[in-house]
Structure 1
Amino acid sequence: MNKELIELSDAIHAQSELVDKLSSNLETVDEADEAFAKLQKMQKQYNLKKQKDAGVQEPRNPQPMNTPEDSVEVKFANAARRGFKNEYTGLQESSNEDGGYLVPREIDVRIRKYREAEFNLGQLVTNKTTRFSSGEYTYQKKSKVQGFVKVPENGKIPVEAAPKYERKSYKIDKYAGIIPATAEEINDSASNVTSLLIERLGKMSRATSNNMVLTAFADGKKDTSTDTVKYEVVSSKNCDGLTKLVNITLGSAYNAKAKIITNDYGKQILCEMKDANGRPLLQPDPTQPTRQIIAAGALLIEVVTVPKEIMPNVNDNAKNYAPLVVGDLEAAFTIFDRQQMTITASNSAVAGDLNAFENDLTLFKATERECICVTDPDAYVYAHFDTEIK
């Protein structure tokens, strides 16, 4: 073997090692392709020179030689090292028509549901069923009651002020929605589509109640002259501001039955707060371990956490803060229910552009009639922590 063939053989060996090194890393597979092409040219050059030295004439129309690199096994191995990129064209899973259809895969048509945050704020307020579309309730106005005065013998007894009265009115509103479903979806689905749609309407009803209560929180503390909500601001550095909110701002007329309602952000702030002795302010209720409470003196007040997806942060002066509602919500608000949610299904009704009979649909209609009334705005305090949520 002459010197030129020896040098070319050494170069081929070095190039082969370079191909192996580049093909072992997914980041350099493109470089490996180029190195492999160069290796094939070097191998061809070596074979031609070797044939010439042996006296074999180079054919005028050379046919490609069936080298070991052309076998299916070698192609598959090389393609596997390169992530099956621009190399292997045989059976492969990534292409359906090239064999992907032959690979079994799990297909499950049962409907699964993501975990969702759920809470019903309506359970915290008073609920009354009514047969009327509107009405009024009479209340005695609040006033400071004076004691009797000391009267001497034969003295004149003064006439005391008689109590004053006021009325709280309500007016029922209608809330409704329609969900369409095709006949094929109902009849052919492996899941009970009708049951799932009715369940969704129930969630929409709960969301309606939540929106009503959240709106009432703000309406009960709105300054009518500026149409803005007035918030109390509570420090998140220590518990003094919160206990003052319970004992002074809310007062003893309501704090015996009070609850603290906040969202996930507010709960985190409460978890980080400490009492005067350095102990966590938020504690499990020893009588009901699933409840959490804080102590405001001798009062043990339940903390109710509403998911942040349902009770969002409040916006005060273009900044977001964790909300804080403290009070006796049963005394503060009343939901008047004229008609609980009624669900009607029809395959012949018309709703807007939807014609159930013509389009072979079933329309599920839900209707409920209700309203919320701010019964006693003094029974709760609408506040937020002073820590901005970013």
Structure 2
Amino acid sequence: MNFDLTDAAPEHKAGFSAGFATPRESYDELRQTFEDFKAANDERLAEIEHKRSDVLLEQKVDRINAALDAQQRRLDAVVLRAARPVMAAEPGSKPAVSEHKSAFDAYVRSGASEGLRAIETKAMSVGSNPDGGYLVPVELDTVIAERLAAISPIRSIAGVRTISGSVYKKPFMTSGPATGWVGETAARPQTASPTLDALSFPAMELYAMPAATATLLDDAAVNLDEWLASEIDQVFAEQEGIAFVNGDGVNKPKGFLNYTTVANAAWTWGNLGHIATGVAGAFAASNPSDSLVDLIYALKAGYRQNATFVMNRRTQALIRKFKDTTGVYIWQPPATASSRASLIGFPLADTEDMPDVGANSLSIAFGDFKRGYLIVDRQGVRVLRDPYSSKPYVLFYTTKRVGGGVQDFDAIKLLKFAVS
């Protein structure tokens, strides 16, 4: 039986084969839907060229565009499930259980904290008492970090540094020493001393509070490490994502859209440069993709080779209709099931926390985020078991410390939907 994606509702397509599709099947469906989209959009453009307007054709293009977004989300979910680290042991295997992991399991299941207290006293840990919670085993800490990297769009492309203190300070040179060319036997004039400053990245507390029933905790077959990681990774990723894009820096990381922006021609250190589309709240009617090309070349070549586009799916839906001068669509689906969609040959990170297109909005970012934005993770995730606040449930107050901010203001450029 053939299933025509062009006539199905987006929500129906998104659920088609849900739960059974492999990454390859989801990827093939996405590619086919994109071919349907190109055919319908080409037909729409031909009608416009002949100065005709077909409302049904416009609706068909929008419907397939929405289906493309739904299938991309579905593919992302399938690939993510396959990529997430699993902590459960293979059937029949008997892995070595660390002393810390064994003590942590006893604490989570029954509240017995003697083992953890002894371990953290031996390690001379500070501030790790019952009121502040206990550090999770290193195995669980690693899995949480890996899961966050897989599902947090900005974390997956930004620079990440693990620290043991509460603040990371990074020195940078505001003006370097004088340099120049000299002959082999010529005198070497004394050079000026460099001027140094420092950027500070404090680690702020992020928390989640999953709840468990006594039945779950008593069930010896349940891997509580796996349960805890799966309960908190999505919550942490969502909160991080919001902060890395729009955070104000007060008790949270400072998002890159929260820095002062200036026209790229007037860029100075401490600001992010932007390129204007020339139209308030929209792309230019003629050659709309030109502003994207201008954005790419606003970035220096040293940053451009590792750059990524960042925008939400609604902005992508607008851009998906654009073609280059040879008639090729500038948005292309992922080359493989586990890769990203691309825009003008550069990878594209879906970031739903980016603003929608509107008057003066900064809806598209482009840059080398590994050099441009730094995320600092303080070592250790803490868990405090609370069986009292929400009886009969047991709450697990889980915290980690995260900071973030722009570390290289020349590595990220923004597209502003404004006249100038």
Name the amino acid aligned to 1:129.
T
CA contact (8 A) 2:245 2:354 kept: yes
Shift in Å, 1:250: 1.6
Distance 1:122 1:285, change over 3 A: closer
| 1:254 and 2:328 are equivalent in the alignment | no
Distance 1:221 1:254, change over 3 A: farther
CA contact (8 A) 2:171 2:198 kept: yes
Q: Which ranges of structure 2 fall in alignment gaps of 5 or more residues?
A: 1-72, 81-150, 247-254, 263-270, 278-282
| 1:178 and 2:229 are equivalent in the alignment | no
Residue in 1 aligned with 2:374?
A: 334
| In 1: Cα distance, 2:176 partner to 2:208 partner | 45
Q: Name the count of aligned residue pairs.
A: 249
Name the amino acid aligned to 2:293.
T
Question: Secondary structure, in 3 states, of the residue corresponding to 2:320?
Answer: helix
Distance 1:340 1:194, change over 3 A: closer
| In 1: Cα distance, 2:367 partner to 2:315 partner | 16
Shift in Å, 1:262: 1.2
Residue in 1 aligned with 2:36?
A: none
Q: Which moved more, 1:360-369 or 1:118-127?
A: 118-127
Question: Secondary structure, in 3 states, of the residue corresponding to 2:366?
Answer: strand
Q: Which ranges of structure 1 fall in alignment gaps of 5 or more residues?
A: 1-113
Shift in Å, 1:337: 0.8
CA contact (8 A) 2:383 2:399 kept: yes
| 1:382 and 2:414 are equivalent in the alignment | yes
Residue in 1 aligned with 2:197?
A: 166
1:294-343 C-alpha deviation (Å, 9 max, x unpaired): 44xxxx4222233x3x44426655xxx57211000011111111134333
| In 2: Cα distance, 1:243 partner to 1:232 partner | 10
In the TM superposition, what are the counterparts of 1:1-390 in structure 2 within 5 Å?
A: 119-120=151-152, 121-141=154-174, 147-148=180-181, 158-183=189-214, 199-215=230-246, 216-222=255-261, 231-234=274-277, 235=283, 237-247=287-297, 249-283=298-332, 290-295=339-344, 300-306=345-351, 308=352, 310-313=353-356, 316=359, 321=361, 323-347=363-387, 350=388, 354=389, 359-385=391-417
Distance 1:250 1:142, change over 3 A: farther
Distance 1:336 1:197, change over 3 A: closer
Q: What is the CA RMSD across the aligned residues, in angstroms?
A: 4.1
Distance 1:346 1:289, change over 3 A: closer
| In 1: Cα distance, 2:321 partner to 2:178 partner | 42
Name the amino acid aligned to 2:347.
E
CA contact (8 A) 1:345 1:362 kept: yes
Distance 1:144 1:280, change over 3 A: farther
| Greater gyration radius | 1
CA contact (8 A) 2:372 2:411 kept: yes
Shift in Å, 1:173: 1.4
Distance 1:219 1:274, change over 3 A: same
Distance 1:338 1:323, change over 3 A: same
CA contact (8 A) 1:238 1:274 kept: no
CA contact (8 A) 1:140 1:165 kept: yes
| In 2: Cα distance, 1:200 partner to 1:287 partner | 29
| In 2: Cα distance, 1:288 partner to 1:146 partner | 49
Name the amino acid aligned to 1:214.
V
Distance 1:339 1:136, change over 3 A: same
CA contact (8 A) 2:244 2:405 kept: no
